[in-house]
Structure 1
């Protein structure tokens, strides 16, 4: 297994070289945090962004339309077509919850007269288009003070690169907080501002002149990525639970938060560190850089190896994702039920819609469990089922198929 660790000492840095050329992201729309508020209109099913604040012939690197505060569902459909065009804007990375408008915005910047807006052809989920935001990333002179991350480290194993860095502030302040304290700290930080870390990837060294051609592959929310939220215990009927905007379901209050480890048997990563995992579609050298985006805005000209970007990383093609053990569930009756080891792997599109951790369940059957290759024992696995592991997701329930059918008929008759 190939492993290579890139490490540099951490140091504090919150200033930029003003006037230096670099990567700038400005936001247009009606959202209160936009760089240019009051620049979006919706008239006769035409959504138009006024981007006249950008000089003509600005070198645009990226342009995306976001929908802050919008709740997404599987059946979401929104088709925006540039007026006079035929092709609709396509969903794009890092989360496919935004639309790629690069070609359209480039045309608008070259000739403001061509900006006749975007025709709304389909809006099946009633997106609040008046609150949509256009992010435009371009080459320009950095004129705004923005914080920088420090201490970037990259570790590659079997096709996956684990990136960690020191966040710009210690939001939680405890290594093993109770859920209520953790939630309070996170929500207070989110109320202050919308801060994410943007992860850029390139096959060339990243500096102020090349970051514009790097691919933004992920957005990592502030103060969340190191915490194992998949282990949060959910209750159904028991008292001592609460609702939270950070995680669905009725959450058990008296539980401590745990953090991820990125090596089997290793200590968890520090609470002040953020985590991103990148999977290699093919072998080769890769470089990564981390930028801070506050309320969608970026200003980055100071890029240093070991501080906010990596040196070259020799990546292998990923065949299978790394699966790291996190929890082991002991059954109530080990003679007839299996032990369950819960592992976590970090997946990306197209395996999942949005990059992030995913749980996998591995069974260890006791010797007394009946069944053979000639006559296998039936087994029913509840993943999200009423009255079973939807009640306590951290403790999956394993029962026989006969028992499962009996339970379902009982619930159906009781609630029909």
Structure 2
């Protein structure tokens, strides 16, 4: 009998919280008590109220980037009672957890007020700060319940959709300016947010108190404003130029001068997102995409919230799922949005497909992040032969839907919009877009990780030949990203085409002298995402981000690495010339395969050689002659006007005729210097081993023979080679 009574008492204690409904309310601070004091009158909450959750939402006047001193300042707010600082609440880290402080205030015998001291909050706006509380009580003036809730899971992504309370556009497609204005107008009238809940049990008016609040979603979430591209601006310009001769002449000098913040962007249409290939969401539908951390079954609910008052009372089937969703963990798969038609006069034959990749940690620092991609698919994709895969990294103009780049007939060319934080092919600090300080976290490889995920998907989707993956980019953003991403996978990427890249950000000056002009460099943009260089912030592995990105030092420290073949373009007056020269010298010193071309104004990199394969040997050539070697723009890496020069631009070889066995290697081509064989798959001499070599020129009297000794790394170098078939054999191997 006593056991039954005890069990009943435990059950009643567990269920006591369900006696009342869950209500929410928002409080604004009372009249300012001081520049650093926030005081809230909670008398309407009721004495001894059961508080489930309280969030202190601190407003800021603008985002804080890593190149600002404020980025290192930790937000610190403490209750006036002198307790510990309020912790940040994940996963968005845009608010502070004030639950215990509000509970304490409700237990106090005196007037129910709660007071906080703001010790530090850079760019804080006190007037826009508020306190949201969820408690047991009766909600008043609740907004209408959400209708039409659906949840679809596919490959690691759960797509949650619902009918929004307001739909200002209907079937009309808004422009980017119209969409932004509509969001602003909606918030000015009343702040509507949709709270997304997830729970292991069915969510109703009482169990919602135990459900996990995943996010607060703003109105018009079914649109894809990040999908609006500068490519669309150029397309509109070209169409207009056909009809308007005066306009055509006005843009003739710089038709492609555009930036993501160009005013013309605002006039472009914004498409609705598709969560099934090629099927945009219907008008008036909101969207949130969740990445489950582990497989299982989950219920979802969406609650409308207006100015802090949420409708937690009406959670019928239209606002809460009656059946759970079966979920699995994983990065998810990109979803086809549409085929882009950007043709004016000419475009490469094939299709330009626009995809969206939804990311969350560890592929982004926040959940529900939309990243746009393009994939150029050539007609050859309809055949049975595997295709090459090119990864293109755009420059500061943001042109990714139609890269201004050669499109090979047998290559799928993919490109992503590097936004909202341009990150040079690596990633950014986890504090960006949150209340975290840069002093509290690390720089993570979010961008590279999400590219890895997209590439893994593309390799399966388009039947890619894994030996023919390449990276391409131009400029201090795109060229740097192409090179740095390729070095992330030196054993998987076959070749790289990069121009005006920064191989050593740690040595990048804030400005350079170019003739009589002083030119600012891209250092502030790097510091914006990695923190000021003087702070020397760390990666997740604990290394300095600036030392970690030093590819020149990496090349020298890894002489045996089988790097991709590099095609480099540069200019001796460019902001990155002083970083590029040491990098090229390092490649020559350790005998890595590359070609380079440069002049004073800047030479774009040569496209290719596109026949390079990751599974075939490559010749690394140290040229016999470099006429510019003693000139100070090379010898001292001086940024100045010059006649330029080139390295190995005459190099070519025939991969199809390569012989690579354990005893013999043959490679035919035009070399022009000392040749070191790199990336051999089977011909691997031991250090100190003697290797017989022959250069068959096709003319017996011009043939050359000799013997070489493999160095301490097992690499074999043959000096002074011109054109012909180079044959290497190990001792005792049969001659042919």
Is the counterpart of residue 25 in structure 1 residue 24 in structure 2? yes
**SS of structure 1 residue aligned to 2:280:** coil
Farther-moved stretch of structure 1 (185-194 vs 152-161): 185-194
**SS of structure 2 residue aligned to 1:108:** helix
Matches within 5 A, 1:4-403: 21-30=20-29, 39=30, 41-43=32-34, 45-68=36-59, 70-74=61-65, 75=71, 77-93=74-90, 95-111=92-108, 117-123=115-121, 125-222=122-219, 224-234=220-230, 250-265=263-278, 267-305=279-317, 307-327=318-338, 334=348, 341-349=353-361, 351-361=363-373, 381-382=393-394, 385-386=395-396, 388-389=397-398, 392=399, 394-398=401-405, 399=473, 400-402=497-499
Does the CA-based 8 Å contact 1:21-1:139 persist in structure 2?
A: yes
**SS of structure 1 residue aligned to 2:188:** helix
Farther-moved stretch of structure 1 (76-85 vs 277-286): 76-85
Does the CA-based 8 Å contact 1:348-1:354 persist in structure 2?
A: yes
CA 1:367–1:221: 2 relative to 1, 3 Å: closer
The structure whose RCO (Cα within 8 Å, separation 6+) is larger is: 1
**SS of structure 1 residue aligned to 2:85:** coil
Q: Distance in 2 between matches of 1:81 and 1:183?
A: 35
- The corresponding residue for 1:15 is none
CA 1:92–1:272: 2 relative to 1, 3 Å: same
Q: Per-residue CA shift, 1:371-396, capped at 9, x if unaligned?
A: xxxxx9998722xx43x32xx46545
Q: Distance in 2 between matches of 1:71 and 1:271?
A: 31
Structure with greater proportional helix content = 2
CA 1:342–1:24: 2 relative to 1, 3 Å: same
CA 1:297–1:71: 2 relative to 1, 3 Å: farther
Q: Distance in 2 between matches of 1:254 and 1:216?
A: 36
**SS of structure 2 residue aligned to 1:211:** helix
Pairwise CA RMSD: 3.8
Does the CA-based 8 Å contact 1:156-1:313 persist in structure 2?
A: no
**SS of structure 1 residue aligned to 2:119:** strand
Structure with greater proportional strand content = 1
Gapped runs of 5+ residues in structure 1? 1-19, 31-38, 241-246, 369-375
Gapped runs of 5+ residues in structure 2? 1-18, 66-70, 238-246, 251-259, 381-387, 406-472, 474-496, 502-568, 577-599, 602-639, 641-736
Q: Distance in 1 between matches of 2:401 and 2:40?
A: 45
Q: Per-residue CA shift, 1:346-402, capped at 9, x if unaligned?
A: 22345434333422546558799xxxxxxx9998722xx43x32xx46545554414
Does the CA-based 8 Å contact 1:344-1:357 persist in structure 2?
A: no
CA 1:221–1:394: 2 relative to 1, 3 Å: farther
Shift of the alpha carbon at 1:160? 1.9
Q: Distance in 2 between matches of 1:408 and 1:175?
A: 51
Does the CA-based 8 Å contact 2:59-2:124 persist in structure 1?
A: no
**SS of structure 1 residue aligned to 2:263:** strand
TM-score using structure 1 length: 0.74
CA 1:151–1:110: 2 relative to 1, 3 Å: same
Q: Distance in 2 between matches of 1:155 and 1:257?
A: 24
Structure with larger Rg: 2
Shift of the alpha carbon at 1:211? 0.7
Shift of the alpha carbon at 1:141? 1.4
